[in-house]
Structure 1
Amino acid sequence: MLTTRFSLTPLAMAVALVTSSFTGAVIAQEADTGNAEIFSPSALEEVVVVGRLQSVAASLVDERLELPYSADFLGFEAISRAGDSDVGSALRRVTGVTLIDNKFIYIRGLGERYSNVTVNGAAVPSPDLARSVIPLDLFPASIVESLKVQKSWGPDLPANFGGGAIDIRTRNVPSGPVAAISIGTGFNSESDDGLSYPDSGSSALPGALRSAISRYQGDLSQTNIYDVENDSGNAVTREQAEGIQRDLILSLNRNVAISQGSLDRDRDIKVDLGNAWDVADELVLGASISGAYDEDYRNKNQTKRSIGSPETNFAEVERTVHEERTTLAFVLGAEYAQDHSVQLSHYNIQNDSDEARITTSFSNDNPVVDNSPDRNYATRMEERELVLSQIKGSHRLGNFAPLTALEMLSLDWFYSDAEATTDIPNATSFIGSLDRNTAEPTPYISKSSSSGQFEFLSLKDSVESWGGKFSLPVDLSGRELNLSGGWWNSDKTREYYGYTANVGTLSTVGTPASVFSDGSIANPANSFDISMGSGFGNESYVAAQKIGAVFGEVDFRVSEEWRLTAGARWEEYQQAVLPVNLLDFTGVFNQQLINALKDPKQTFAVQNDDIYSSIALTYSGVDLLAANEFQLRFSVSETVVRPDLRELADVAYIDPELSVRVFGNPRLKSTEVRNYDLRSEFYYDGGDNFTVSLFYKDLQLPIEQVEGAGSDDDTVLRYINGDSGEVYGIEFEGLKTLPAGLFMSGNVTLSDSEITITTNNEVTNTDRRLTGHSKYVVNASLGYDSPNEQHSASLLYNVSGERIFFAGTSGNDDAFEQPFGSLDLIYNYYPTEHISVKVKLGNLLNAKREFEQKNSSGQNVVILEQEVGTSFGLDLSWKY
């Protein structure tokens, strides 16, 4: 956790902003000019998975048919069969869904900011440093009951809706005794040997350095230390001031010597226990506890090339990431007379990532012919944690109803309290070179004021969410009318604090381990210096967000075939995002911020409310295309997509997945979306089904990620609003039973998009596809179940067309991520009713991630490629 002092309390100010009338007078009143401290900071059902995939799909057909809006569902049996370990991996099987960075979901070609994610209907915080949308790899598949992806909007969903809404529905209490244990191992073809560095435990911002930042007001130069100490009555010499500075450098954890060696195999273990008890007449109690742990090592080596001169400006990146994931889940529930149920759930999910990286590069200033490449070293520990507590209830009046007409009145409600934190206790980077012209290559550390950088980051994202929905079916002369309505609220605060300590030196021969060793730093003959700041502007910000909504809906069965659904949602949205300068001890930055907030045109805080509506028409019948049942549904809705908190923050940050720098834009505006959806569904005997969907989305002021100004060999990204955009396409999905225990399932999405940008003269293509959009997405699987139910297998293929990674500027074309075709094979063997063995082969085609961009000369350049490798996994499970 980070502790600092500065002359404003930004979190309190942000909260005040979103709860006030947003007038300059109120803002001025909330400013605190005094110093203030800121402390930054279920069980498995008793099921043996041997049934065919069509039976799994059939278990969710009823809900899909009942819902008046287009939605796709994925049950835990299908997730288990596909061998997906987390929610992100599972969702890439859903029609029109693309998984990006193994974390974020693009639905119908729209980026993650256009998708809304809830857990059991509640808003949840995000531990991701680069986005405030939650990374879906954080949720293990072991806690999931089902996944719901709604693609046409209804008023019971948050109005922040573009591509779709994802609801992660966690496991309920078991209906009987459950005991299960699973252990597994595995490896990756590209991850036999890799990089590592000493594990020295926590190395957060040292207390000595934290105190020095306050005492010397952010200026750690020898001259300032000398002046401050002498002005305070502590007579020190220049040499003593230098000694104080060296002690500050010694307080940093420099035990980051990167070495090459063999990597451990993957390993995982899962345990589930639970039971249900009849404690009284019609009263049942249930409880479960589950835990999971897994870890793996992956080489994510990259090759980077400059768009301007790829033959002379390029870099080879050796990169190894070690991940550890731990999950603990506890569920307690009670049910009375099947009319009333209450469930309390608690989840603690931790995901730690440790990365070591060595980058070897050439540039125009350091050409290949000199044979002395630049050589940079970096380490990064990222600790993510999500603590989520929820209580939910479902009630039907039944016999307690005062009137017969109210017997079917039902109420569902929830309350959720969650906190996500991310700490980077010490991310280091060192710049240097490697002279290959000697008998033994000689490493150097560059002579610079920032030869070594030590970065300390802390994020705390807290969300309190609550809501409820009532529903009352009414019989109107044999025609069913369902009246429903409810409320939904979310209060969110986010604190993001970062310090960067720069250590400069003139003593350069050697690696970081030798140049920055204790002996080298303590030696007065060697020159060292320390300063604070990243050089890229503000690193910190605070934010607060409040959403309050009420909604209502009328669902009327006009006839046996026709159904009309209409509803509206009133939603009030308040948000403030304030940059923070942790090194401002003069008050100048804070006073400038206060003055800016008084401006009527200020963009730091917004408050608005609006009404969003939808209408859906459904036709149900039989015998069309020989189907036992078919549905045709059409819906129209108006929604909004608001900028991500991080996109609005006037700060610079590093996207950790691809190591590119990103700048926020406080002038971003919300995107207004009009959604049209037409879907036809056909259901046959044995679970066979077929669906065709058409969709169209009209966007005003869509948010785009574009290339920003940076050095020739450093990609920099930023965000802007386009003028208008549209997305349209067609989706096919289905499942077909074949002879000999075989069956096929899959989906295909064909779509296109267009965005117009006329207000930004730097963008090369003012008319093009939307950033992140793929023209096609294909998911296909071939499955087999043996007649004796002892063997099952699935061959799974997933691919999406090229998508724009970022929009090109200054004559350079847009950068495209190339298609990544993933072919996986999963085999399950059930020797007994209780024991199963699973074998999974991932990325059999050994595909790589590749990004291409055409430069102003028309040359197509692979600006980035990253290894993925083929993975092998083996799991042994026992279930009671």
Structure 2
Amino acid sequence: MKLSKRSRLSRAILLGTVFGSGLVLAQQEEGYKPEIAAPGPIEEVVVTGRLKSVAASIVDERIEIPFSADFLGFEAIARAGDSTIAGALRRLPGLTLIDDKFVYIRGLGERYSSVTVNGAVVPSPDLARSVIPLDLFPTSIVESIKVQKAFGSATPANFGGGAIDVRTKSFPKAPLISFSVGTGGNSISHSGLEYNDSSIKPLPDEIAGAIARYKGDISQSNIFQTENDAGNNTTAQEAEQIQRNLMLALPRQIGMGENLDNKPDQDWKLAVGNSWDVGYQWLVGGSVSASIGEKFRNKDQIKREIGNPEERYAEVDRTSEEERATYSATLGAEYGNTHAVGLSYFDIQHDVKDASISRGFDSNNPPSDGNRVVKYQTRTEERALEMVQLTGEHSFEGLEFLYDWSERLAFLESLRFSWFYSDAQVTTDVPNQTNYSGSTDLSTGFTQISPAPAAGQHVFLELEDEEESWGGSFELPVYLDQTEVTIKGGYAASEKFREYYQYTFNVNTTGLSSSVLAGGPGRVMSDPVLGDLDNDFTASLGSNFGTESYIAARKLNAYFGELDVRLSENWRVTLGSRWEEYKQALLTVDLLDFTGTSIQAQIQALQDPNQRFAFIEDDWYHSAALTYSDYGLFGSEEYQLRASYAQTTVRPDLRETAQVVYIDPQINQRVRGNPFVEKSDIDHLDLRAEFFYENGDNFTVSLFYKDISAPIETVRQPGSDDNVVLTYENAKSGDIFGIELEGLVTVPADLIGMDGFFVSGNVALSDSEVEIDTTNNVLTNDVRRLTGHSEYVINGQLGYDSPGGIHSVSLIYNVFGERIYFAGVAGNDDAFEQPFHSLDLTYTFYPTDTLSVSLKVQNILEEEREFEQENSSGRNVTILEQEVGRSWGLSAKYSY
């Protein structure tokens, strides 16, 4: 076997990215330092290394791919100690993390990125967004993550900042047994709030039956009328009892205990698998794995209103309990190097239980009145993703009989074909979200629930999102004299169906005495108080926001083709085109409308030629890339210069086009969809230079520019501060440009007197501008940066691997520049989330080849999240502060 220049480079990078130690254990004594062999025949060598940053296949892919992309291997993820994909991705250049769930690529929001799993589209469990929240995926199932930043025809055309592809682990090629157990905690989360929520259904059967029987109106008068119309001779008191029984059917385990001890974090992982040689060149295998975890975190906040922060503020005590469970199974078969098929199954569950108590003052209750506003909220959200994927890769090598039959078919020997099929379903249930308002008399300390309409609300949400996707692609190299032309093409399709239903049950307390309403919601809604008909509780349905539910469907068909031409050893040209047909239909559903009025209104609206409730569109999207590669520049083993241009689009999420009003749980604001919001077309220009060195050091610099036509922005509609409603509109124009720098440097041993240190990191500097028509909204600035865009993002890592491979340490730093949280209105400037300086430490000890012990400490600096806004008077106000605390984790792992 001979090593080509490219193969030797990949091996050098692989060895060098044992994070700079320059040491490899190659079946030699500890301390042996091998040299990289010159080209020529070699014997098989078994090479192992602790925590490589990228696998050799990832290095090859980064070099070979014609379009700019960044990669993360599972070794680098393990090195940083991130438990979810969202946390891991913030280590890449130009990526920032929003709400611990959504990744912004090159300053563009989550709508500007697409997420696939093994190339397949995946539905989203998020209540307000079609893009999947990346905190749902644990890193334990990940083999590598690819973030493509320059568009190619094989990538979905819904492409803005980039496309994320999560590649999961396949079946093992050798016996696998792995077990780990971990614990941890947080410096501010020793004690907190807790409530017992035993509800398991989105809506109690009694209430669902009453909605149908009383046609959405559960007032006592309508119950009385309906029952008597049915011949039941119901009295007014009996009608009152029927309504009260509906309130008693509510999940009412909402009494919150304060200062309760939180349990320490728990984390358990188990994986087993094997493969077997079952015949001539046949290898079959499989694996199963399970991961279960639980953690408590306090997320206490201080909120201040921009106009009068001294008198309008709230202190929020909030505790969140998270439970995660991931189960996966893989089966696979390989025949030599020519055929491989795989079957994967994933069941991911993520439950979050929140409890919060807010105490403060507002415009109707200033401190001078002596009454403090108290708001109680509980929320249980259960998210689940179930996915089955089938994949295959095939080549036509070894079919000599076919070539003997006709020499004209000899070119097929180089043909490669791959395909996939994926069927996924996500569900999100909020079996009971409660909101109760109350007050505390500061002079006496007496606390009660407010005597008001809808003083208490129970919200029931149910989301089901199904997505089926499939496709295939081929690759055929053709040699013409000194030119190699690779012809690529393929097909991709997906079908999506989403249902979202929301019911709001109001508990009205108007006219009730203080003795009845004394205490918190746990006491007021208890059986003795609520069950007493002398206490005149009443109930109603609806949130007064209008329609909140909808159903939607989406279908996509795409064909793509690409020519990859190697003009010479140095020059390469790649040209591609993609055609997509996109169909979408969306129907709002008024669950309390039994007259058909809302349906008739939508039927009428469909006659409008400009309507977007149901439409079909198709278009072509083109890409071109030019690559120059050579050796020796700046002392590099190899370098590549890339330039690419592409045309793509970004389509609005389904929910953004639904004419419904809903509460976005991420920002806790009312949002109204806009059926007339349209897609944003984008022109991309990317330049990148990559330098790779013999010892594994590397350096990359990238320039990018994006011109966005009619970007989709979140804006505020006119209204008072007590009636804030956000919506979506197409801005006039927008653009973003910037530079990214990243690299890995081995620290010379003779410089510091020690071997094994390395430094790696990246810096992204960028700017953006969006121009918005403020005619129909109350925005202060008609020209500003894009929402969520940071002008700089910095990641740095100082690492050490001991020469014997016994110790591994990383000190990791991350910071993003201030970014717009929401656009300012009524003369107030835009609100900015302030930079967060994250400093984390991970240490792993390997006492044996099969056992490891890891310690990680996150947010060593104990930074807090802060949001600032300048008001119309020029004063800078910290409108939101949220504690984060210092977290730690300790785990032990056995693997064979």
Which among 818, 834, 857 is matched to residue 850 of structure 2?
Answer: 834
Q: Is the 8 A contact 2:383 2:426 kept in 1?
A: yes
CA distance in 1, matches of 2:203, 2:713: 35
> Match for 1:419: what amino acid?
Q
CA distance in 2, matches of 1:120, 1:712: 45
Which among 210, 223, 226 is matched to residue 225 of structure 1?
Answer: 223
**1:424 to 2:430 alignment:** yes
Q: Is the 8 A contact 1:723 1:759 kept in 2?
A: no
Which residue does the alignment assign to 2:153?
155
Q: Deviations over 1:22-65 (max 9, x none)?
A: xxxxxxxxxxxxxxxxxxxxxxxxx99953645x3655221101
**1:776 to 2:792 alignment:** yes
Which residue does the alignment assign to 1:263?
262
The range that moved more, 198-207 or 68-77, is 198-207
**1:785 to 2:801 alignment:** yes
Structure 1: which 5+ residue stretches go unaligned? 1-46
How many Å apart are 1:129 and its aligned residue?
0.7
**1:497 to 2:512 alignment:** no
Classify 1:688/1:511 alpha carbon distance in 2 versus 1 (closer, same or farther; 3 Å): same
Which residue does the alignment assign to 1:414?
420
The range that moved more, 392-401 or 795-804, is 392-401
Which residue does the alignment assign to 2:90?
92
How many Å apart are 1:364 and its aligned residue?
2.4
How many Å apart are 1:603 and its aligned residue?
2.0
Q: Is the 8 A contact 2:202 2:462 kept in 1?
A: no
Q: Is the 8 A contact 2:199 2:251 kept in 1?
A: no
Which residue does the alignment assign to 1:327?
326
Which among 119, 125, 133 is matched to residue 121 of structure 1?
Answer: 119
CA distance in 1, matches of 2:824, 2:56: 46
**1:673 to 2:682 alignment:** yes
Q: Is the 8 A contact 2:735 2:770 kept in 1?
A: yes
Q: After superposition, where does 1:711-726 map in structure 2 within 5 Å?
A: 711-712=720-721, 716-726=725-735
Which residue does the alignment assign to 1:20?
none
Which among 172, 175, 191 is matched to residue 173 of structure 2?
Answer: 175
How many Å apart are 1:861 and its aligned residue?
1.6
Which among 200, 203, 206 is matched to residue 205 of structure 1?
Answer: 203
Structure 2: which 5+ residue stretches go unaligned? 1-45, 404-408
TM-score of the superposed pair, with normalisation by structure 2: 0.91
> Match for 2:769: what amino acid?
E
**1:450 to 2:449 alignment:** no
The range that moved more, 664-673 or 282-291, is 664-673
How many Å apart are 1:713 and its aligned residue?
5.9
**1:743 to 2:758 alignment:** yes
> Match for 1:802: what amino acid?
E
> Match for 1:238: what amino acid?
A
How many Å apart are 1:372 and its aligned residue?
1.9
Q: Is the 8 A contact 2:86 2:134 kept in 1?
A: yes
Q: Is the 8 A contact 1:50 1:790 kept in 2?
A: no
Q: Is the 8 A contact 2:610 2:676 kept in 1?
A: no
CA distance in 2, matches of 1:307, 1:578: 38
Q: After superposition, where does 1:236-315 map in structure 2 within 5 Å?
A: 236-260=234-258, 261-315=260-314
How many Å apart are 1:766 and its aligned residue?
1.1
Superposition RMSD in Å = 1.5
> Match for 1:799: what amino acid?
V
CA distance in 1, matches of 2:663, 2:49: 45
SS at match of 1:247: helix
CA distance in 2, matches of 1:693, 1:219: 60
Which residue does the alignment assign to 2:28?
none
Which among 671, 689, 693 is matched to residue 698 of structure 2?
Answer: 689
How many Å apart are 1:677 and its aligned residue?
0.2
Which residue does the alignment assign to 2:771?
756
CA distance in 2, matches of 1:662, 1:572: 29
Which among 596, 599, 609 is matched to residue 618 of structure 2?
Answer: 609
Which residue does the alignment assign to 1:868?
884
Q: Deviations over 1:289-333 (max 9, x none)?
A: 100000100111111111222121111111111000000010000
Which among 593, 600, 622 is matched to residue 591 of structure 1?
Answer: 600
Which residue does the alignment assign to 1:482?
486
Which residue does the alignment assign to 1:64?
62
Q: Deviations over 1:99-142 (max 9, x none)?
A: 11111010000001000100000000000112110000101101
Which residue does the alignment assign to 1:185?
183
Identity %, equivalent residues? 56
Q: Is the 8 A contact 1:172 1:331 kept in 2?
A: yes
CA distance in 2, matches of 1:864, 1:212: 41
Which residue does the alignment assign to 1:530?
539
Which residue does the alignment assign to 2:29?
none
CA distance in 2, matches of 1:161, 1:269: 37
How many Å apart are 1:550 and its aligned residue?
0.2
**1:795 to 2:818 alignment:** no
CA distance in 2, matches of 1:536, 1:89: 35
CA distance in 1, matches of 2:653, 2:47: 42
Q: Is the 8 A contact 1:570 1:609 kept in 2?
A: yes
Q: Deviations over 1:48-95 (max 9, x none)?
A: 9953645x3655221101000000011001101110111111101111
How many Å apart are 1:599 and its aligned residue?
2.1
Which residue does the alignment assign to 2:110?
112
CA distance in 2, matches of 1:840, 1:344: 34
SS at match of 1:64: helix
SS at match of 1:228: helix
How many Å apart are 1:714 and its aligned residue?
7.1
SS at match of 1:407: helix
> Match for 2:434: what amino acid?
T
CA distance in 2, matches of 1:119, 1:145: 11
CA distance in 2, matches of 1:306, 1:204: 34
Q: Is the 8 A contact 2:228 2:234 kept in 1?
A: yes
Classify 1:711/1:50 alpha carbon distance in 2 versus 1 (closer, same or farther; 3 Å): farther
Which residue does the alignment assign to 2:526?
517
CA distance in 1, matches of 2:146, 2:533: 64
How many Å apart are 1:808 and its aligned residue?
1.6
Q: Is the 8 A contact 2:839 2:861 kept in 1?
A: yes
CA distance in 2, matches of 1:353, 1:395: 43
Which residue does the alignment assign to 2:650?
641
CA distance in 2, matches of 1:317, 1:577: 38
Q: After superposition, where does 1:804-843 map in structure 2 within 5 Å?
A: 804-843=820-859
Q: Deviations over 1:9-32 (max 9, x none)?
A: xxxxxxxxxxxxxxxxxxxxxxxx
Which residue does the alignment assign to 2:573?
564
The range that moved more, 805-814 or 390-399, is 805-814
Q: Deviations over 1:749-805 (max 9, x none)?
A: 000001111353522111111111110000100000111110000000111101111
CA distance in 1, matches of 2:189, 2:674: 38
Classify 1:52/1:503 alpha carbon distance in 2 versus 1 (closer, same or farther; 3 Å): closer
CA distance in 1, matches of 2:675, 2:49: 53
Classify 1:709/1:310 alpha carbon distance in 2 versus 1 (closer, same or farther; 3 Å): farther
> Match for 1:485: what amino acid?
G
CA distance in 2, matches of 1:187, 1:314: 30
Classify 1:456/1:854 alpha carbon distance in 2 versus 1 (closer, same or farther; 3 Å): same
Which residue does the alignment assign to 2:396?
397
Which among 704, 708, 722 is matched to residue 713 of structure 2?
Answer: 704
Q: How many residues matched?
A: 831
Which residue does the alignment assign to 2:18?
none
Which residue does the alignment assign to 1:18?
none
Which residue does the alignment assign to 1:76?
74
Q: Is the 8 A contact 2:415 2:474 kept in 1?
A: yes
SS at match of 1:706: strand
CA distance in 1, matches of 2:369, 2:441: 9
The range that moved more, 773-782 or 645-654, is 645-654
SS at match of 2:891: strand
